[in-house]
Amino acid sequence: MTESTEKQTVQDITSQLWAMANALRGNMDANEFRNYILGFMFYRYLSEHQENYLKTENIVDIIEDESVNYAYIREAKDDVEDYIKDIAGELGYAIRPEYTWATIVEKVKNDDIKPSDFQDMFDDFRKNSSININAKNDFSEIFADVNLGNSRLGNSTTARARALSDIILMVDKFDYTNDSGHDILGDVYEYLIAQFAGNSGKKAGEFYTPHPVSVVLAKLATIDAPTSGQFSVYDPTMGSGSLLLTVQEQLVNGFEKGRVHFHGQELNTTTYNLARMNLMMHGVDYQNMDLRNGDTLESDWPDGEVDGIDRPRSFDAVVANPPYSQQWDNNINKMKDPRFKDYGKLAPKSKADFAFVLHGIYHLKDSGRMAIVLPHGVLFRGAAEGLIRQTLIEKNYLDAVIGLPAGIFYSTSIPTVVLVFKKNRTRKDVLFIDASSEFEKSKNQNILREQDIDKIFTTYQDRQDVDKYAHVASLDEIKENDYNLNIPRYVDTFEEEPPVDIVAVTKEIADIDQQIDTLETKLLADINDLVGSDDETNAQIAALKQLFSK
């Protein structure tokens, strides 16, 4: 199957799921209903992943009849607790035979499901998720947002159970593999997240970065990454984790087992749960991801210990699309924070943009790159932000400033800018790219096309002046502009108006006058044809003739 056919399959399944979901959710907000669809999709994934593991290891029998379908360990049929411990030790979680997806679906189809079965299913998973202490952070409370008692599912326990059963049948309806046998469940999940983002307005920015923007950031952050060995990536405001996954997608040999180690932090608990699900449904083992639920600016990423000495945890790549100009607690004690203390000032209380920048740089390896999306204000605002900006430039950390088009995000229509940072730079210049006019206009949202992304990336690689698109500015040039990085100061996109041809314009006016005379003559002739016996009509016609005779 070709890539385009595979993509169409994903889109087709997603659109059908979306239509079915809208029919099922009733008066529930789509953003709330999201938790049920995606939660049950993830449960199905975990159950089938567990069953495939047991089959692959050749340590199970699969029992199938009209009422039951589950796996169990051949050597320990009577010791279910050992069965659970063994699976949790390997996979990080375990699902008891009576709660596997296949068993639950069978009960729903046979109308044999009890309202309490749903609660028991999630309670048992929660208990089993704490068995493997190394995986506890990855699976703990991951289904907490599936609110089984939500009255908008139904006014009674029975009605809610019926609604949950309908969702299970909807999720079970599709075979999430393409003609090549490739698992596309994670891709469907990602498309659904994007669909929910598109219907969430300003809230979308809390959990989803549009894929084309993610591709820009991922390409820039991995441009000179090694082609082998473990690669660490960190997103301090990871949302649903789509940006982290795009880094893996753009990294050379990124899908080799164990190649990428994912790190991320997210303040919103529901979104944090989405991220954990999203990564695992894309085949990321729990051992290769370290995701945290916390406030990035208040709860810094924990330091690591190297050779008995505490050192800040640093990463090969840092990517981020943080909330724009968010308020934060910039109390004076923050000046002692190693992330901020070397820059003379703290980001203002009403605008945390540079706080996110400094946090990311602090956790960036000397050999790494950081790409972060921010509002244009970071380029020119003064006071504390001006001093921080100047210090970053004098430290020679800033590598590129890339202006993006307006209207490419779900959450805001403002134009944004990508800043690229690198610590071990030998160059003493900054590349400015104005890509603000390179996009496809859409009804609800402007779109960065593949050719737009390629142009940005190629220009970044070539690092040369491009007329009305890019300019390589020396540090002296930036100093002359008082460290103001506003892109029009460096990239001149002004288009001169073509010279006016006076002779042609005069002839055009004369032609228009001639056309007017011809039309008036024809109109007067038509008016004369209307003269009749009605005095009032004749008076109106006479008035019209007098008007045009002027």
**DSSP line for 235-257:** ETT-TTSHHHHHHHHHSTTTTST
What gap in Å lies between CA 290 and CA 141, rounded to an integer? 16
Judgement on whether residues 156 and 221 belong to the same structural domain of the protein:
no
Judgement on whether residues 134 and 177 belong to the same structural domain of the protein:
yes
Domain boundary at 167, 199, 231, which? 199
Which has more pLDDT, 74 or 474?
474
Report the chain's mean pLDDT, rounded to a whole number.
Answer: 85
278 located within any domain: yes
495 located within any domain: no
527 located within any domain: yes
497 located within any domain: no
Judgement on whether residues 238 and 310 belong to the same structural domain of the protein:
yes
Residue 8 has φ and ψ, to the nearest 5°, of: -65, -35
Is the pLDDT reported for residue 141 higher than 90?
yes
What gap in Å lies between CA 388 and CA 383, rounded to an integer? 9
pLDDT at 14: 81
Judgement on whether residues 259 and 340 belong to the same structural domain of the protein:
yes
Which has more pLDDT, 12 or 474?
474
What gap in Å lies between CA 351 and CA 328, rounded to an integer? 7
Domain boundary at 155, 173, 199, which? 199
Is the pLDDT reported for residue 384 higher than 80?
yes
Lowest mean pLDDT among 37-46, 347-356, 501-510: 501-510
Q: CA torsion angle for 315, 318, 324, 325 (degrees, to 10)?
A: 50
On whether the pTM is more than 0.85, the answer is no
Lowest mean pLDDT among 21-35, 122-136, 464-478: 21-35
Domain boundary at 138, 168, 199, which? 199
Judgement on whether residues 133 and 231 belong to the same structural domain of the protein:
no
Q: Quickly state the pLDDT bin for 382 (edges 50, 70, 90).
A: very high
Q: Quickly state the pLDDT bin for 309 (edges 50, 70, 90).
A: very low
As a whole number, mean pLDDT of residues 208-221 equals 92
Judgement on whether residues 77 and 213 belong to the same structural domain of the protein:
no
**What pLDDT, in 10s, does the model give residues 29-47?**
777 888 898 899 999 999 9
Q: Quickly state the pLDDT bin for 60 (edges 50, 70, 90).
A: low
Q: Quickly state the pLDDT bin for 200 (edges 50, 70, 90).
A: low
* Domain that includes residue 520, residue range: 502-549
Lowest mean pLDDT among 62-66, 240-244, 358-362, 495-499: 62-66
pLDDT at 538: 67
As a whole number, mean pLDDT of residues 494-518 equals 78
Judgement on whether residues 173 and 282 belong to the same structural domain of the protein:
no
Q: Quickly state the pLDDT bin for 182 (edges 50, 70, 90).
A: low
| CATH number of 159's domain | 1.20.1260.30
482 located within any domain: yes
As a whole number, mean pLDDT of residues 193-199 equals 74
Total residue length of the chain? 550
Whole-Å CA distances, 160 to 27, 145, 149, 151, 471: 14, 15, 7, 8, 60
pLDDT at 235: 97
**What pLDDT, in 10s, does the model give residues 431-480?**
999 999 988 887 778 889 999 999 999 999 999 999 999 999 999 999 99
Which has more pLDDT, 69 or 326?
326
pLDDT at 194: 78
Judgement on whether residues 137 and 274 belong to the same structural domain of the protein:
no
**At a CB cut-off of 8 Å and minimum separation 6, what does 68 contact?**
103, 106
pLDDT at 84: 87
Is the pLDDT reported for residue 525 higher than 60?
yes
329 located within any domain: yes
| CATH number of 473's domain | 3.40.50.150
pLDDT at 503: 81
pLDDT at 507: 83
pLDDT at 204: 46
Is the pLDDT reported for residue 361 higher than 60?
yes
Sheet holding 416-422, edge to edge: 289-293, 260-266, 231-235, 315-320, 364-375, 416-422, 398-403, 429-434, 470-474
Is the pLDDT reported for residue 73 higher than 60?
no
Q: Quickly state the pLDDT bin for 537 (edges 50, 70, 90).
A: low
For residue 109, what are its two tokens?
């189809």
What gap in Å lies between CA 290 and CA 92, rounded to an integer? 13
Which has more pLDDT, 61 or 525?
525
Is the pLDDT reported for residue 189 higher than 90?
no
Judgement on whether residues 98 and 21 belong to the same structural domain of the protein:
yes
Is the pLDDT reported for residue 349 higher than 80?
yes
Judgement on whether residues 79 and 217 belong to the same structural domain of the protein:
no
What gap in Å lies between CA 302 and CA 313, rounded to an integer? 7
Judgement on whether residues 535 and 475 belong to the same structural domain of the protein:
no
Q: For the chain, what is the domain count?
A: 3
As a whole number, mean pLDDT of residues 324-338 equals 93
Determine what percent of the chain is predicted with pLDDT higher than 90. Answer: 58
494 located within any domain: no
Which has more pLDDT, 287 or 15?
287
pLDDT at 255: 93
Judgement on whether residues 215 and 336 belong to the same structural domain of the protein:
yes
Q: Which of 233, 234, 238 is nearest to 206 (CA)?
A: 238
